[in-house]
């Protein structure tokens, strides 16, 4: 694994996938999730059972984003494998919900990718 800031070519496909996903989260628009995740992708997060399949992942994220406004996602560290098949991201999210501002909530995500560059595995930690 290599920190993307230390690579000769600083942003590979895996890091670009993170940029797309974080942009979707910030914009509360997950309409492109089926193109980013493989049809049988697995998404694991701490508070719910596993989400299997790009359409179920899309539905979950749409529901999770509901009620959140002014969303800001900031990557603190992005580490990408040299073969672009794995990615680790340390990040924060801030948002307003129910009249309260939540700032810089720490997160970590790990991703696996198939040969075509789609996410096959996504694990979040809070």
Residue 56's contacts (CB-CB under 8 Å, 6 or more residues apart) are none
Q: How confident is the model at residue 12 (pLDDT cuts 50, 70, 90)?
A: confident
Q: Give the range of the structural domain holding residue 60, as residue numbers without chain letter.
A: 2-125
Residue 121's beta-bridge partner residues? 42, 112
Domain count, the chain: 1
Query: What is the sign, positive or negative, of the torsion defined by CA atoms of 5, 19, 102, 90?
Result: negative
Question: Where residue 90 sits, what CATH number does that domain have?
Answer: 3.10.450.50
The neighbour count for residue 47, using CB atoms within 10 Å, is: 7
pTM: 0.87
pLDDT digits (tens, 9 = 90+) for 49-86: 999 999 999 999 999 999 999 999 999 999 999 998 99
pLDDT digits (tens, 9 = 90+) for 32-43: 999 999 999 999
pLDDT at 3 over 70: no
């Amino acid at each position: 694994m290599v920190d993307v800031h230390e690579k000769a070519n600083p942003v590979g496909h895996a890091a670009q996938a993170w940029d797309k996903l974080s942009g979707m989260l910030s914009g509360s628009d997950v309409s492109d999730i089926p193109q980013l995740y493989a049809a049988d992708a697995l998404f694991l997060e701490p508070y719910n059972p596993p989400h299997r399949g790009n359409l179920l992942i899309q539905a979950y994220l749409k529901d999770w984003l509901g009620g959140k406004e002014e969303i800001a996602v900031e990557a603190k560290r992005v580490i990408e494998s040299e073969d672009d098949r794995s990615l680790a991201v340390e990040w924060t999210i801030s948002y307003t919900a129910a009249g309260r501002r939540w700032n810089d909530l720490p997160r970590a995500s790990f991703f696996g990718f198939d040969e075509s560059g789609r996410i096959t595995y996504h694990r979040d930690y809070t």
